[in-house]
Structure 1
Amino acid sequence: MWRYNLALTRRIFSSQPAALVRQYSAFRRLPRVATPVKDVSRLGFNGVPNMNNVTIQQYDPIATTILNEPTIIIERQIEMMNVVLGFEQANKYAIMDVMGNRIGYMQERDFGFFKAITRQIYRLHRPFTVDVFDNYGNVLMTIERPFSFINSHIKAILPDENRTLVGESVQNWHLWRRRYELFQRECENPSEFTQFGNIDAPFLSFEFPVMDENNKIIAGCDRNWVGIGRELFTDTGVYIVRFDSQQSFDGVYPQEMLSDKVLNYDQRAVMLSNAVSIDFDYFSRHSRYGGGLLSFGTYDE
């Protein structure tokens, strides 16, 4: 375990990008959005911007447990029935800090027999609800996605009595590029959303840098290679989610490519949700096509 964590830590702090990030087009916003991106240069607790117009505060459990980390690691757990029989199970993820210590976990809700059947029919198009837990089983946040035929639309929601929406990640379909637009909900105007970043990754990319309005990298989500056996027969990916442009990218990108802004807690919650969306949309090959070691299907994919 220690050897694995050490290797993973080296990857986090010393990896090199596959290619220089291209300059992306100016932000597009959903029709309802009319609020400019705010200045987040003033930093508060643990280097995170201290803004009044945010939903998640520094003392909230999701912030003190997970979102205050500059970098987190998400590992999707092995689904044995998926591996052996091709039966789509509810997804589970471990959340760790950069030293490999588990700081929480995520689990897709399993509503019994009917839900299990709909997972087999809709597979990666299915609607789902994923709860984010601390190590003691307390729900810190909920991630929801409605049925998705083409573009996924995923939401970060607090588990309070009002089910407060924090922000959204919206996939922007392209024939070969991997694109998302990331939005934070305005607290003062709950019907409005501000776009704080976009992802425009190349074909088959494992790296998903988030660009701010100045085409600078403000955050990112990278998928790690986990070995030939796990890659071929499972969907157990490992993802590095980088929240902090000032602390998470040492040795990864040149300093001039990095933003001078830092994500607030609402935006980090959206980034965490986006990592789940990336796993579903691009790295769940076995879940998409079914199969399994004991199935009688083809293995052409």
Structure 2
Amino acid sequence: MMQMKEYKEVPQDVPQDDTVVRQPTSADAVRIPSGPENWMSIPVGMPNCPQGLEYLTALDQLLVSQKIEKLELLTGFETKNRFKIKNSLGQNVYFAYEESDCCTQRGPFEMKILDNFQNEVLHLTRPFRCDLLCCFPDCLNAVEVSAPPGQVIGTVEQVCTFLRPKFNIKNSFGDTVLHIEGPICPCKCFSDTNFKVLSANNEEIGKISKQWSGLGRELFTDADYFSVTFPLNLDVRMKALIFAALFLIDVVYYEH
């Protein structure tokens, strides 16, 4: 469990060059944009909130854009995914990057979400899954979500269905607390695709939207735009799990 003393704070108004962040368990360095970009101020005085998730207490929407790498644009070779996460005012909230091998889309992946101070505040882990028997429990897609890293707050698990895509969101005790239901055709063109977030009694409380980004971008890159909405007063851990579900949906339906 991350201790308070390990959480770095860097003044937001100090210009910086691109900073290389090296995690102790990875041999790869990740370059994170910093400096003149406009970052959301962190809310203060939030009790019983995992450190780094304070931003979510003041938000009911997140906008996610996948960064297009020059290598992917010029050659079509897929690179490791990186995302910017902003609020509805266009302010940066988080930066996310994938640590998995870009050549194994159906294999395991690790996703790290960092805040403005370059601290990892959310960690997503998806184990290896097979493609042969997609309705066997061990073959379905799932991600385990930790906040802070090392402290599991819940999971997002795909449900075996032959019609609409479905996912269950479970808390740290394994109880299903929310559901996600997608359209019959999640890969339609020329319009946004919405996945409804439902409460335990099937009341719609939010949605995850894959936004149509134009024919050229859709055909020649894997760079996607998403938005996620949830109730402002929803528990911050549930907001984080809905946010995590966005990345699982991206991997399952749009990383091709």
Q: Please, what TM-score do these two structures have when normalized by structure 2? A: 0.71
Match of 1:133 among 100, 111, 114: 114
Q: Deviations over 1:61-94 (max 9, x none)?
A: 3321345311111111113333433433211110
Matched, 1:229 2:216: yes
Match of 1:142 among 114, 123, 127: 123
Instruction: Tell me: CA distance 1:174–1:124, structure 2 relative to 1, closer, same or farther (3 Å).
Output: farther
Distance in 2, matches of 1:158 and 1:135, equals 16
State the match for 1:155 in structure 2: 144
Distance in 1, matches of 2:98 and 2:235, equals 26
Match of 1:184 among 168, 171, 196: 171
Question: Within 5 A, what are the aligned runs for 1:215-254?
Answer: 215-244=202-231
**Residue type of the partner of 2:120?**
V
**Residue type of the partner of 2:243?**
L
State the match for 1:57 in structure 2: 48
Q: Deviations over 1:166-193 (max 9, x none)?
A: 00000113234211111111xxxxxx32
1:278 deviates by 0.7
**Residue type of the partner of 1:134?**
D
Matched, 1:167 2:154: yes
Match of 2:59 among 22, 45, 69: 69
Distance in 1, matches of 2:56 and 2:95, equals 10
Answer yes or no: is the 8 Å Cα contact 1:67–1:269 preserved in 2.
no
Answer yes or no: is the 8 Å Cα contact 2:108–2:126 preserved in 1.
yes
1:213 deviates by 2.2
Match of 2:198 among 211, 217, 223: 211
Match of 1:91 among 52, 65, 81: 81
Distance in 2, matches of 1:271 and 1:200, equals 12
Deviating above 4 A after TM superposition, structure 1's stretches of 4 or more consecutive aligned residues are none
State the match for 1:297 in structure 2: none
Query: How many residue pairs align between the two structures?
Result: 198
Answer yes or no: is the 8 Å Cα contact 1:197–1:210 preserved in 2.
yes
Answer yes or no: is the 8 Å Cα contact 1:73–1:96 preserved in 2.
yes
For CA contacts below 8 A with separation 6 or more, give which structure has more relative contact order. Answer: 1
1:129 deviates by 0.7
Distance in 2, matches of 1:173 and 1:100, equals 37
1:234 deviates by 1.2
Distance in 1, matches of 2:235 and 2:165, equals 24
Instruction: Tell me: CA distance 1:64–1:218, structure 2 relative to 1, closer, same or farther (3 Å).
Output: same
Distance in 2, matches of 1:152 and 1:176, equals 16
Distance in 2, matches of 1:148 and 1:82, equals 25
Match of 1:273 among 225, 244, 247: 244
The secondary structure found in structure 1 opposite 2:117 is: coil
The secondary structure found in structure 2 opposite 1:147 is: coil
Q: Deviations over 1:94-151 (max 9, x none)?
A: 00000111111101126xxxxx4xx42xx32110111110123111111111112242
1:153 deviates by 0.7
Distance in 1, matches of 2:70 and 2:178, equals 36
**Residue type of the partner of 1:225?**
W
Matched, 1:101 2:91: yes
Distance in 2, matches of 1:108 and 1:283, equals 15
Give structure 2 stretches of 5+ with no counterpart: 1-42, 135-139, 187-192
Distance in 2, matches of 1:184 and 1:137, equals 26
Give structure 1 stretches of 5+ with no counterpart: 1-45, 51-55, 111-115, 186-191, 248-261, 286-301
Answer yes or no: is the 8 Å Cα contact 1:184–1:194 preserved in 2.
yes
Instruction: Tell me: CA distance 1:102–1:137, structure 2 relative to 1, closer, same or farther (3 Å).
Output: same
Answer yes or no: is the 8 Å Cα contact 1:57–1:265 preserved in 2.
no
State the match for 1:298 in structure 2: none
Distance in 1, matches of 2:65 and 2:237, equals 22
Q: How large is the RMSD of aligned CA atoms in angstroms?
A: 2.2
Question: Within 5 A, what are the aligned runs for 1:247-262?
Answer: 262=233
Q: Please, what TM-score do these two structures have when normalized by structure 1? A: 0.61
